[in-house]
Amino acid sequence: MLTRRGVVGGALAGSLLGSPLAAALQTDRRRPGFDIASPGDAITPIFVDAADLPGVRRAAADLAADIGRVTGTDARIVHDPRALPDRVILVGALGTSPLIDHLVAAGKVAVHDIRGKWEAFLIQTVANPMPGVKEALVIVGSDKRGTIYGVYDVSRMIGVSPWYWWADVPVVRQSRLRIANGRYVQDSPAVKYRGIFLNDEAPCLSGWTAKTFGGMNAAFYGRLFELLLRLRANYLWPAMWNNAFAVDDPANAPLAEDYGIVMGTSHHEPMMKAHKEWTDHRQHYGNGEWNYATNAPAIRDFFREGIDRNAHNEVIVTVGMRGDGDVALESSGSLQSDVTLLEGVITDQRRIIAEGMGRPAEQVPQVWVLFTEVYKYYDAGLELPDDVTIMFADDNVGNLRRLPLPSERGRSGGFGIYFHMDMHGGPFSYQWINSNPLPKIWEQMNLAHRYGANEIWIANVGDLKPLELPIEFFLAMAWRPSDVGKDKIAGWTHAWAERQFGPEHAAEIAMLAARYAKYNAWRKPEQLKPDSYSLENYREAERVCDAWRELERRADAVNETLRSDQRDAFYQLVLYPVRACSNLTQMYVAAARNARFAEQGRASTSAEADEVRRRFHRDHDLRDYYNHTMAGGKWDHMMDQTHIGYFDWYPPGTDIMPPVAEIDLDPANGFGVAVDGSARSWPGYYLPPELPILDSLTREKTFIEVFPRGAGPAPVTVTADQPWVVIEEGKAFGVSTRDRRFWVDIDWNAVKTGRSEATITVEGHQTVTVRLTALRASAQQEREARGASGGLTGAFSLAAARFDRSVAARGVRCEPIPDYGQGDAAMSVFPVDAEPFTDTANAPRLEYDVFLGESGPYHIDLVTAPTLEVYPGRHLAVAVGFDDAAPVAQAVFTPTTRAAQDFLGEQHAANTAANARTMRFTLPVDAPGRHVLKVFMQDPTIVVQKIIVHKSALARSYFGPPAWASGGRAGS
Amino acid sequence: MLTRRGVVGGALAGSLLGSPLAAALQTDRRRPGFDIASPGDAITPIFVDAADLPGVRRAAADLAADIGRVTGTDARIVHDPRALPDRVILVGALGTSPLIDHLVAAGKVAVHDIRGKWEAFLIQTVANPMPGVKEALVIVGSDKRGTIYGVYDVSRMIGVSPWYWWADVPVVRQSRLRIANGRYVQDSPAVKYRGIFLNDEAPCLSGWTAKTFGGMNAAFYGRLFELLLRLRANYLWPAMWNNAFAVDDPANAPLAEDYGIVMGTSHHEPMMKAHKEWTDHRQHYGNGEWNYATNAPAIRDFFREGIDRNAHNEVIVTVGMRGDGDVALESSGSLQSDVTLLEGVITDQRRIIAEGMGRPAEQVPQVWVLFTEVYKYYDAGLELPDDVTIMFADDNVGNLRRLPLPSERGRSGGFGIYFHMDMHGGPFSYQWINSNPLPKIWEQMNLAHRYGANEIWIANVGDLKPLELPIEFFLAMAWRPSDVGKDKIAGWTHAWAERQFGPEHAAEIAMLAARYAKYNAWRKPEQLKPDSYSLENYREAERVCDAWRELERRADAVNETLRSDQRDAFYQLVLYPVRACSNLTQMYVAAARNARFAEQGRASTSAEADEVRRRFHRDHDLRDYYNHTMAGGKWDHMMDQTHIGYFDWYPPGTDIMPPVAEIDLDPANGFGVAVDGSARSWPGYYLPPELPILDSLTREKTFIEVFPRGAGPAPVTVTADQPWVVIEEGKAFGVSTRDRRFWVDIDWNAVKTGRSEATITVEGHQTVTVRLTALRASAQQEREARGASGGLTGAFSLAAARFDRSVAARGVRCEPIPDYGQGDAAMSVFPVDAEPFTDTANAPRLEYDVFLGESGPYHIDLVTAPTLEVYPGRHLAVAVGFDDAAPVAQAVFTPTTRAAQDFLGEQHAANTAANARTMRFTLPVDAPGRHVLKVFMQDPTIVVQKIIVHKSALARSYFGPPAWASGGRAGS
């Protein structure tokens, strides 16, 4: 095993974002500091009071073990304050550790800036803290979890990843561990309760826990609690699919209390009772109906049990009621009667809470979750006690549905967010792999933070794995949002990669981890179909495959250079998702080629069918490696989730290979020709083949493909009738080596200004002629177009972030969110809580220099994020205009589109599947030539990804035309 | 070879519909008659004047050969009137045969009832017509074709099918051919010009003619002209796909004139010029543009050539102009300017016609075809000379778009119909096989006839084969519509079958021929998709497959018993289409099972994929037999049309096997359960399995299927927890023998009145429980429901023709069109030209006794034919009501639906693909129980196929729920 020489720091620089110890990392070995370990010396022991809180004692023990993981020797734990060594780590919480309290009282440690705070801590080196002790590293927390977080911050600093066990991240051996002398303070986290929800936990988490722990018992939850604390979380909704946390293992709830984890139950399980407890025993409760209108006394008994058994635990009690299981409440007659019923339910629940907990209800944290249909009760005016936290659920796909209005923000219970990184249900399920790019999480959760929903953040994380990265990011944001501003996401990801794999490959690994999730968010793997990406237009499917292939190549290259002890972690965190998603995308595209090639009569149809089969089986091989080989089979079942062949929101029982077609080949058949921009082939179609028009401003090239249609060879020659046509053979898209591509380009110096026509002739045992048109700009057009986007003809895209000018207004400006969405970045309005601009023309705007080949009406499609209207009553608009013409404003949501965007609505499902919503404007253009396209961002919370400019109907594609600028080729 | 003994008649009784000779068939050998042949005697010779019209002489020669086909010895042709034998057949047209004219003048033959008429003829036995002749059979026509038709009527009578060559129908040998003495008169046909259009003729007809004749030359056309005349047609639009009738073989046009065929050119080819003549030589015509606004003088030259070369031929000149090829005219600016331009075109054309033909234009038959967009010029008021026939084209799928209004009918040129039995184009192509059931042709062409569009009928027949049956029917209707009234279609088909195959199997063969076309019209083969018929609801796909399989079984059985010399004819006329369409349907359904079984994780998924492959290859085997083996390969290429895997209206270049999926089976998997009415399977879905409710009134049964999901066996037991549940094992749908079906029925005597619940348990290595609900009617409900349709719950269908009462009004009544559409018959209003009923409640109506299980609103879906609004300005309405409530009227066409039904519109395409249009009414029902559902047919030309009654959303299916009546099982 390699060990890293030297002191802590340097190598880990930048990897401790969110930790006050980041400041301790400038240390070099000549600078004085506190040695936790030092070559030749005994490992510094840890003192923790034997009477301190169990969670604190346990964390101290973890630190001792972590030091052992790094140095090879565990630190000794000392409980006797009278037998302290001369160098010691002192761990304790204010008020529960007499020694710490004594140090504070003695003025050795100043705690004014953490005392009384929620989960704050202080780490300080202290010389001569007490007689007989020369130096101490004091880790003191304002409370239990503050102390624990402090302890784990030291673990993290010495190189123990929170994921050391949960993702097999190897610990790098070091013999010297030194902290620069100093005082390191961590204030309270931004969000009070930060947690995850284990959900949709079969077949993966269930299968894995059954095999590994014998169930979701304390052995499992202990591992989980430790992870949560190392990730600075404090809150958990436990697994509830046929699981009941409190009764499956009676040790579970006390264990949570010991660790310091605040337990809750999910959005639809009130009063600390799992729904399974109801379904298993409903016959013992009155008439057995989960209906407060008909069975209230029995349901109250049920509620009471949940509260009574948690009387001494730190919990957040879910209040309210949904239907029987995770479904909507059965109506009692009218919306108003339902509201009245629910108000009664909550009143009763609070009485039970107060009785069971032995203190006023307002002293017990409670949450009411507005999920799906529950919004309507709130909107209808349900009166909720001020101390109950109102939790807004997203749309199941990571788009917030609501934020607190200023008028609401005063409530003592505050607001929370229930966010999804995994879904089993509508609008579609995504349970397999990580498809949550961090910029999207940031964009929405930043709104939550800025609009004051900071009481609770909880993320539905499915089986937990393989969502390691977005889980940590979500919790990091909740901890200290300033560490992960939109421009720091890449840096944070880099630091994350460095924590797991060291600095050498951190940049590449961060790129890989960010990019596979980004690609997955173009279209979630479960939502992929053979025709998701266009085969015929813009080489779209080909470009997408190229992107994945390149990502896979780079991931493989990293894997080759990693130490062998890093490969299990790399496989689960990066390599598996990259390979599997690349393979999956290429499998679907091969299925598309199979279908298209069958239509075109290509002999290679069957080769594409074989390719689909090969990739289908490779998917299983990759999964099997994860389950059975990686880490010695430690994670068996964790990748059991089916993900191919969705035909319902419900996951298929078994993966279903995309169906493949066969054709009969007549050996006498000759060849066929397909052309860029068309799905058809020739001979065999009544319209003549015609290539997309080539344009001297956009300088795109085009191609034809020639392929055998029979079993035999089909030699052809490809020639053009004009000298300015440049034909060059390339590689056809697909697995066949017999299919041929011929690139068609123009020698623009050789062609006259204006329109020129040419014919390309494919000659073999038959002849196919393909028409080609070239448009060469005049000298004046070229001058006008210089530096502008667009061309003489055709549709083009503008990457929203590639603006030419950004004009701020009243301190409000359009800024890019790097790496958001389809392109390099997307544009939104900052600050996000700015007041809207009702005066359109004065709104902050983006300007794009464009060259338009024609006059007449143009369509401007703004491709925005599919975010929702989070601010009731606010008009949400954007406007577009050319030059100095009055801009045309359009509200994202009209009463009609609002309905269409509604939760689970078909249009919203389509938008979220594409992670994009398109707004179309149609504007007159009175003359061809150079223009300025202006986008006026009237309201914050809109995110613009790209702008598509076109005159006629767009060719079918997923992304629209590529972005190209005058004089240059489009990137892939 | 078998020979039939005895005289003509008896055996052929009923097979000569449309012939005056039908009356000559009562003959027995003891009754006196004219012997064409008689054992021991020489064959009776045929006299035809050497100077008579060539067509008459040719027909007489055909008769001589036909007599040879029957007797083994050709009749001798005699030209010398002075050397007549004592028994002779005298053939001649009035006015061109001196001998016939002499007989008439001598009073031997009275021709008062045919003279001067169009295509009339007389067949008469005459004793001692002239010195030296003892007896003669005189065949005299009012004109050339009248005579020819008379001659061929004798051929037909002696047993030579018009299809003897064109469908290899064997001629039965007979030694005695006797016609009962008498006078047989044929009046003029109902429709003046009756013809076909060879179209969409590649690859089949083109390939076949190239191989057989070396092209579409006179050798080919001679064969075709003979067929047309034998079928009593007189008009032809020749093949024009890269073919030019007049120039491909200069002998073609004179040959048509010789035969007596009136030539035309298609709807879009004016002035007797093929469009190919333009495309081949456009550079010689002015600027080469097919644009009358820019190139009129040259186009006039082009027109003139077409007329001049036909100066002496009998033609109908197509006038007007469409675009360049079979596409719409390029607009000259506005509709009004286009109308003016077209009026100018026609004026010029008529001047050219008059000059070229040497007689006034009004003496030359002309036709202007309202095809697709051409209607708009007519509707815009284009002024057309009165003598030009206006031809209304259908919608390309056999639905008329327009009929002459009374105000229009006075025009001297009259009206014609352009009808499709084959289409290459929108709304979809159907070029492979016969999908034209005769009742549908009858229903629409009867309108044409009754509304006075009787000047020209022409049918687009694609490659001609395999449309033999509908072609003959269409021409028979045009000849004498009274022979083929709606109640005579089955009889006509029987006679047709008898003519081709003799009486023994005629009934069965007629059934087969009618039924395969009927099934094909449910959904044309080209429009079939795997999911066309529902797998999960009503066992729909299974019933459709059963129907096809039964048809195939019966066709095979007939084939076994036919003489070997009949089998080629049987294969091409019946067996091939039955087998191929049965195979095709079953292939698609197997593909549907493959996809569904994959979703259900059935181990049999791969067996269904193999079944798809097997049937795909069988399709090609059946085709290859037709092309290469049948009739010694005489029809090679005639079945070259691709027909599997349409992905465009344009036929695929090669047949594409429906894609098939694969799944990976875990050998450890157990079994799965699927239930009637659901696509899902268990274990594996979150909602519990539930069977359709069983109802004591409808007495349907239901089923579950149990299937292995792994490679190994999965033994199960299936039990119910209630004694009144009857479980019986049957055969699962699909090819697997390991999948099992368990029928679930109720012992209605053992179950209590009202609702009862039961659970069916499938137990193996896991357990699945299925819920079942039985509803038993009370004694009173049973009494009320007796004889009524419907039940306690669920949707049901009423076959429109199974009415309980039909109430006529003012002599107008609802009558069934037997065998029309989805069921046994459909209902329409007769007479079809009755005046509409604006007073809804007084309209003729149909009454249906129904039993409705619930109160509240019910939906009544009238499933009508997709016929169009043929009568401009007429309100087209139908009304529905329960009991004595005021009926609710609905117009079939509103401005919105009219637009949606428009030519090539998406809704019209869907309706024509389904051969059905659904009109939904929603009516209140105030109490459950027995009701009378009344359908008021306010306007003629509506055809109602079935009525679906339902309260909630209909389950997805093609046909809707089966029709069931109280107390009985639904038929398959």
Two tokens at B796? Answer: 């049901």
Per the structure block, which two tokens stand in for B890?
A: 């609905």
Matching residue, tokens 């999804």 = A420
For residue range A78-98, list pLDDT tens digits in order.
999 998 999 999 999 999 999
Residue B795 is classified by DSSP as: -
Q: What does B891-949 look like in DSSP terms, one character per residue?
A: ES--HHHHHHTSTT-HHHHHHHHHT-EEEEEEEEE-SSEEEEEEEEE-STT--EEEEEE
Which chain A positions have a beta carbon within 8 Å of B202's beta carbon? none
Beta carbons of A595 and B659 less than 8 Å apart: yes
Mean pLDDT, rounded, for A163-167: 98
- Token pair of B478 as six digits: 């045009």
Mean pLDDT of B324-344: 88
Q: Which residue among A595, A656, A665 sits closest to B663, beta carbon to beta carbon? A: A656
Is the pLDDT reported for residue A901 higher than 70?
no
How confident is the model over B369-422, as pLDDT tens digits?
Answer: 998 888 889 989 999 999 999 999 999 999 999 999 999 999 999 999 999 999
Nearest to A654 among B652, B653, B664 (CB): B664
Q: A881 is written with which tokens?
A: 């205009």
The residue ranking higher by pLDDT, A373 or A84, is: A84
- Mind giving me the DSSP string for B323-390? SSSSSPPPPSSSHHHHHHHHHHHHHHHHHHHHHHHTS-GGGS-EEEEE-GGGHHHHHTT----TTSEE
Q: Is the pLDDT of residue A715 over 80?
A: yes
Q: Identify all chain A residues contacting B640, using CB atoms and an 8 Å cutoff.
A: none
What pLDDT is stored for residue B28 in this prediction?
64
State the nearest Cα–Cα gap between B660 and chain A, in angstroms: 4
pLDDT in tens, A670-702: 999 999 999 999 999 999 999 999 999 999 999
Give the chain B residue whose CA is nearest to the CA of A656: B663
Percentage with pLDDT > 90 across chain A: 88
CB neighbour burial string for A527-565, b if at least 16 within 10 angstroms, e if fewer: bbebbbbbbbbbbbbbbbbebbeebbebbeebbeebeee
Residue B848 and residue B804 in contact, taking contact as beta carbons nearer than 8 Å: yes
**Dihedral sign of CA atoms A528, A534, A538, A539 in order:** positive
- Which of B598, B653, B657 minimises the CB distance to A601? B653
CB contact under 8 A, B664 and A658: no
- How near does any CA of chain B get to the CA of A812, in Å? 48
Beta strands at B845-852 and B929-937: parallel, antiparallel or unpaired: antiparallel
Contact A598 B645 (CB under 8 A): yes
pLDDT band at A11 (very low <50, low <70, confident <90, very high): very low
Banded pLDDT at A710 (limits 50, 70, 90): very high
Cα–Cα distance for residue pair B159/B7, rounded to 1 Å = 11
Smallest CA–CA separation between B764 and chain A, in Å? 18
* Optimal mutation site among A664, A673, A682, A766, interface B, most CBs of chain B within 10 A: A664
Task: Report the pLDDT averaged over residues A5-17.
Answer: 49
Total number of residues shown for chain A: 972
Q: What pLDDT is stored for residue A816 in this prediction?
A: 97
Q: Identify residue B201 by its one-letter amino acid code.
A: E
Q: Which helix (H) or strand (E) holds A340?
A: helix A335-357
- Indicate the DSSP class of residue B631: G
In the predicted model, what is the mean pLDDT of residues B50-78?
Answer: 97
Residue B13 has what pLDDT? Answer: 44
Q: What is the ipTM of this complex?
A: 0.92
**Cα distance between residue A476 and residue A812, in whole Å:** 27
Interchain proximity B681–A645, CB inside 8 Å: no
Distances (CA, A) of B795 to B745, B773, B842: 19, 16, 29
CA B51 to chain centre: 42
The 10 Å Cβ neighbour count of residue B44 is 22
Using DSSP's 3-state secondary structure scheme, residue A826 falls into strand
State the first-to-last Cα distance of chain B, in angstroms, to the nearest integer: 41
Encoded tokens for B83: 């050397």
**CA angle A316–A318–A321, rounded 5-degree value:** 175
Give the residue from A663, A681, A709 with the most B CB atoms within 10 Å of its CB, the best one to mutate.
A663
Q: What is the pLDDT of residues B770-826, one digit of tens each?
A: 999 999 999 999 999 999 999 999 999 999 999 999 999 999 999 999 999 998 999
Q: What is the mean pLDDT of residues A929-954?
A: 95
B674 CB neighbours in chain A (<8 A) are none
What is the model's pLDDT at position B27?
53
Superfamily in which the A193-508 domain is placed by CATH: Glycosyl hydrolase family 115 (3.20.20.520)
- In angstroms, the separation between the Cα of residue B627 and the nearest Cα of chain A is 15
Confidence of residue A2 (pLDDT cuts 50, 70, 90): very low
Q: Do residues A641 and A204 make contact, with C-beta atoms less than 8 angstroms apart?
A: yes
Considering CB atoms only, which of A599, A617, A709 is closest to B647? A599
* Record: contact B599-A647, CB cut-off 8 A: yes
A597, closest residue in chain B (CA to CA):
B656
Closest CA to A268 of A371, A197, A357, A192: A371
Domain residue ranges of chain A, discontinuous segments joined by +: 4-186, 193-508, 671-776, 786-965
Q: Is residue A148 within a helix (H) or strand (E), and if so which, with residue range?
A: helix A144-157
Fold match flag (B4-186 vs B193-508): no
Give the pLDDT confidence score for residue A25 in this predicted structure: 59
Residue of chain A whose alpha carbon sits nearest to that of B619: A664
Average of pLDDT values for B928-945? 95
Kindly tell me if the per-residue pLDDT of A853 is higher than 90. Answer: yes
Sort out which chain B residues have CB atoms less than 8 A from A648's CB and list them: 680
pLDDT of A3 above 50: no
Which of A648, A663, A686 is the closest to B654 by Cβ?
Answer: A663
**Cβ–Cβ gap A653/B620 under 8 Å:** no
Which stretches of chain A sit within 8 Å of chain B by CB? 594-595, 598-601, 613, 616-617, 620, 645, 647-648, 650, 652-666, 672, 680-681, 683-686, 709
Closest approach of chain B CAs to the CA of A657, in angstroms?
Answer: 5
pLDDT at B968 over 50: no
Question: Mind telling me how many Å the CA of A591 is from chain B's nearest CA?
Answer: 10
- Across all residues in chain B, what is the average pLDDT? 93
Contacting A with CB below 8 Å, chain B residues are: 594-595, 598-601, 613, 616-617, 620, 645, 647-648, 650, 652-666, 672, 680-681, 683-686, 709
Distance CA B59, CA B150 (A): 9
pLDDT in the model for residue B875: 76
Distance CA A777, CA A780 (A): 8
In the CATH scheme, what is the homologous superfamily, with its name and number, of domain B4-186?
Chitobiase/beta-hexosaminidase domain 2-like (3.30.379.10)
- What SS3 state is found at A5? coil
Return the residue in B241, B663, B686 with the most chain A beta carbons within 10 A, the one to mutate for interface testing: B663
In chain B, residues with a C-beta closer than 8 Å to the C-beta of A653 are: 599-601, 672, 681, 683-684, 709
> Cβ of A661 and B661 within 8 Å?
no
Specify whether the CB–CB gap between A690 and A724 falls below 8 A. no
Q: Look at residue B969 in the predicted model and tell me its pLDDT.
A: 35
Whether residues B653 and A599 touch (CB distance < 8 A) is answered with yes
Q: Which of B525, B418, B456, B372 is nearest to B193 (CA)?
A: B456
Chain B contact probe: residue of A241, A424, A654, A766 with most B CBs at under 10 A: A654
Dist CA B859 CA A346 (whole Å): 42
Q: Out of A5-19, B383-397, B566-580, which region has the weakest mean confidence (pLDDT)?
A: A5-19
Would you give the end-to-end CA distance of chain A in angstroms? 41
Q: Looking at per-residue confidence, does B667 or A627 come out higher?
A: A627
| Shortest Cα–Cα distance, B655 to chain A (Å) | 6
pLDDT at residue number B21: 81
Instruction: Determine the residue among B656, B660, B709 to mutate to test chain A binding: the one whose Cβ has the most chain A Cβ atoms within 10 Å.
Output: B656
H helices of A451-575, in order, are 468-479, 489-501, 506-522, 540-561, 567-570
Tell me which chain B residues have a C-beta less than 8 angstroms from the C-beta of A666: 654
**Contact assignment for B656 to A661 by CB distance below 8 Å:** yes
Work out the average pLDDT over B52-76.
97
The answer on pLDDT for B897 being more than 90 is: no
Report residue A616 as tokens: 């289908």
Q: Which CATH architecture has domain B671-776?
A: Sandwich (2.60)
* Residue at token pair 């503050």: A146
Of B650, B653, B660, the CB nearest to A659: B660
Give me the residue label for tokens 């005392």: A115
* A786-965: in CATH 2.60.120.1620: yes
In terms of phi and psi (left: phi > 0; alpha: psi -120 to 50; beta: otherwise), the region of A323 is beta
CA distance B504 to chain A (A): 40
Residues in A touching B681 (Cβ below 8 Å) = 653
What whole-number percentage of chain A has pLDDT above 70?
96
**Under an 8 A CB cutoff, do B684 and A598 touch?**
no
CA distance A108 to A105: 8
Verify whether the Cβ–Cβ distance B653 to A672 is below 8 Å.
Answer: yes
Residue A681, min C-alpha distance to chain B (Å): 9
pLDDT of the residue at A27: 54
Q: Which tokens in the block code for residue B542?
A: 């299974």
Question: Tell me, what's the pLDDT at A31?
Answer: 77
Residue among B841, B842, B921, B828 nearest B870 (CA) = B828
CB pairs under 8 A between A and B: 98
Q: Which two tokens stand for residue A696?
A: 């001297």
For A249-272, the three-class secondary structure string (H helix, E strand, C coil) is CCCHHHHHHHHCCEECCCCCCCCC
Closest CA in chain A for residue B620: A664
Is residue B559 within a helix (H) or strand (E), and if so which, with residue range?
A: helix B540-561
Residue A665 C-alpha, separation from nearest chain B C-alpha, in angstroms: 8
Amino acid A551: pLDDT: 98
* Coil, helix or strand at residue A71: helix
Q: Which residue of B has its CA nearest to A603?
A: B654
Give residue B744's pLDDT band: very low, low, confident or very high (50, 70, 90): very high
Q: Which residues contact B691 (CB under 8 A, 6 or more apart)?
A: B675, B676, B677, B702, B704, B744, B760, B770, B771, B772, B773
Give me the pLDDT at residue A963, please.
76
DSSP secondary structure letter of residue A793: S
The amino acid sitting at A874 is: R
Q: Which residue has the tokens 């399974």?
A: A276
Q: Does position A471 have pLDDT exceeding 70, yes or no?
A: yes
